[in-house]
Amino acid sequence: MNQTTPSYIQIAEKWTKKPFDTETQIATKALIEKGGDDLEDAFYKSMEFGTGGMRGIMGVGTNRINKYTLGGATQALSDYLKKSFPSKEQISVAIGFDCRINSDVFSKLVADVLSANGIKVYLFESLRPTPELSFTIRHLNCQAGIVLTASHNPKEYNGYKVYWEDGAQLVPPHDKGVIELASNIQIEDIQFEGNNNLIEIIGKEVDEAFINGVMNQSLTNEGKDDLKIVFTALHGTSIMGMPQALAKAGFTDVSIVEEQAVPDGTFPTVISPNPEEPEALSMAIDQANELGADLVIGTDPDADRIGIAVRNNKGEMQIMNGNQTASMMTWFLLKEWKKQGKLKGKEFICQTIVTTNLMKDIGDAYGVDTEITLTGFKWIAEAIRKNEETKTYIGGGEESFGYMVGDFVRDKDSISSAVIVAEMAAQAKANGSSFYRQLLEMYKEFGLYHEGLVSIVKGGKSGSEEIAKMMTNLRSNPPKSLGGSTVVAMDDVKSGEAKDLRNNSTTTLDLPSSNVLQFYLENGGKVTARPSGTEPKIKFYFSVKGQLNDVTDYDQELSALNQQIEAIKADLNI
């Protein structure tokens, strides 16, 4: 081939020959003939096996989710497990999958590669919530776990998340160990011929154990018969656990959005199956208004994130953001633990660096430590592991609609979270209040925090380069003021440096390196810039704080805080 031929085309040409199968060869030839950006994006780089796994568009190519990229990652994991557990007579791995197109096919492919390498596989009979997979790893004493899911991404995506023996996603040194092996795997190294004698299908018995674990997190039985709930699975896996959990917890009036109850990876009734997007809950809210329901619960396709809507003081259904739900759950958990005499002075909660500091303020008020981690529940799970012998974990959350109650699951879990949210709403109603009124009372007691988020999507190779340039510019030319308030400190989590700009001093951050910048404002505000680790986007998080002296002043005070955030956005030109 001509030396001037772009390297990505040279790589693509290799996919048109053996050892790649006939179907892959034909699809690659068609993509080469079409040319353009799709071809370049499919082959300009290898699909990155990141610190939690992989996520991307399905199709042929080194930068796509397919038989060979998944096979290579699984071969690397197999090799790493054998290296990590040399004296283990039978290494075992649990595998779960969601509703997405090809998730079931990919799960069997992954099971085949593992079993071909002599590893015992526990494969779920059908789709299951991701938190149940996390639970299953410890329940069955496995050394690792895999779930095939692209979480809340569009229908063209799929993904592959890897868990270690503690039920948490990979953290150092295991993430780096698998990544290093994966980078050197060749197609010829992958063992695709599975051993069915090593693949055991699991289902009902594990389901029951998982639901029992959820029930162990329950804190109150007040008012459950009187709470009206509408639930939507958004075509995802929570239909396999949420109705059962709510019923067992004692909630008798649960209405399911039937049009969204059937698992379907094309997500026909929503633009995006992401409960962070208000549109995703629109059908459930319509149903709630028809029935006069108190609470709407919705989950993403793999059931680890939860979105809720409650009635505000005007009687209208209002969607809670992730920070509000996480803060309310923290407040409820700590109040109930204190009421039940369970707070002994050796408990802790967790939040990530981009989550509202309201959680920490609540923890401080109850004498409970707060561990602040990098973004992602694998770091919250790591905090649990590190404190296991000395402190009891109560709950933890992040702004992106994820929460984890107790430590029986080591990843965010919409099922147990929904039970706690429903108990909170039921208790409030039974006492003549409501979830929303309790939210305002929380703000009055601990301070009115308000957050905002801007996600800027930059697809393809040029997009990745543009995001990298944005972060470089922020590091080399940090803002001196934002929204009319002086920037007094800056944390560069990548370099591990915390700079106090008032006295020009520098200290070391107690966090693993990550491509994150945080700016602290004189008026108590905080701004964070973080490129996504799983999607082609950069996120800007804004947090401002005011005071709520009377709940009737909420709308006025909220408007002032929104103006602060808009002024910060304007200064950043976003």
Over the stretch 74-111, which tens digit does the pLDDT of each residue have? Answer: 999 999 999 999 999 999 999 999 999 999 999 999 99
Question: With 90 as the cut, is the pLDDT of residue 462 above it?
Answer: no
> CB of 445 within 8 A of CB of 452?
no
% the chain with pLDDT above 70: 98
Question: With 80 as the cut, is the pLDDT of residue 461 above it?
Answer: no
Please, which residues have CB within 8 angstroms of residue 177's CB and are 6 or more apart in sequence?
80, 83, 84
Tokens of 332: 């409820």
Query: What's the rounded mean pLDDT across residues 366-388?
Result: 95
Question: With 60 as the cut, is the pLDDT of residue 335 above it?
Answer: yes
Question: With 70 as the cut, is the pLDDT of residue 267 above it?
Answer: yes
Question: With 50 as the cut, is the pLDDT of residue 398 above it?
Answer: yes
Please, which residues have CB within 8 angstroms of residue 90's CB and are 6 or more apart in sequence?
120
> CB of 250 within 8 A of CB of 219?
no
d(C-alpha 193, C-alpha 190), whole Å: 9
d(C-alpha 495, C-alpha 71), whole Å: 34
> CB of 490 within 8 A of CB of 478?
yes
Question: With 70 as the cut, is the pLDDT of residue 51 above it?
Answer: no
Query: What's the rounded mean pLDDT across residues 505-514?
Result: 94
> CB of 125 within 8 A of CB of 159?
no
- Compute CA 157 distance to the chain's CA centroid, rounded to the nearest angstrom: 15
Please, what are the domains in the chain? Answer: 46-208 (3.40.120.10), 320-412 (3.40.120.10), 448-572 (3.30.310)
d(C-alpha 71, C-alpha 79), whole Å: 12
Question: Do you know the residue count of the chain?
Answer: 574
pLDDT score of 118? 98
- Report the candidate in 386, 355, 395, 358 with the shortest Cα–Cα distance to residue 372: 355
pLDDT score of 53? 84
Instruction: Please work out, in degrees rounded to the nearest 5, the angle formed at the alpha carbon of residue 430 by the alpha carbons of 425 and 431.
Output: 100
**Residues labelled as active-site residues:** 151
d(C-alpha 47, C-alpha 63), whole Å: 4
pLDDT score of 536? 77
Task: Say what the pTM is.
Answer: 0.93
What pLDDT band is residue 561 in, cutting at 50, 70 and 90? very high
Q: In 3-state terms, what secondary structure has residue 237?
A: helix
Tokens of 469: 């340039």
Segment holding 518, helix H or strand E: strand 517-521
Amino acid letter, 450: H
d(C-alpha 539, C-alpha 572), whole Å: 12
d(C-alpha 56, C-alpha 534), whole Å: 8
Segment holding 393, helix H or strand E: strand 392-398
> CB of 518 within 8 A of CB of 491?
yes
Q: Quote the DSSP letter at residue 226.
A: G
Instruction: Please work out, in degrees rounded to the nearest 5, the angle formed at the alpha carbon of residue 370 by the alpha carbons of 366 and 376.
Output: 140
Query: What's the rounded mean pLDDT across residues 200-213?
Result: 98
**Torsion, CA 229, CA 234, CA 238, CA 239, rounded to 10:** 80
pLDDT score of 122? 98
Tokens of 202: 């699991």
Question: With 50 as the cut, is the pLDDT of residue 1 above it?
Answer: no
What pLDDT band is residue 4 in, cutting at 50, 70 and 90? low
Tokens of 443: 């703000």
Segment holding 317, helix H or strand E: strand 317-319
For the chain, give the mean pLDDT: 95
pLDDT score of 563? 96
Query: What's the rounded mean pLDDT across residues 151-175?
Result: 94
Q: Which residues pair with 115 in a beta bridge?
A: none
Tokens of 519: 């700016």
d(C-alpha 228, C-alpha 387), whole Å: 38
**pLDDT digit string, tens, across residues 111-127:** 999 999 999 999 999 99
d(C-alpha 460, C-alpha 448), whole Å: 39
Q: Which residue has the higher pLDDT, 121 or 183?
A: 121
> CB of 99 within 8 A of CB of 267?
no
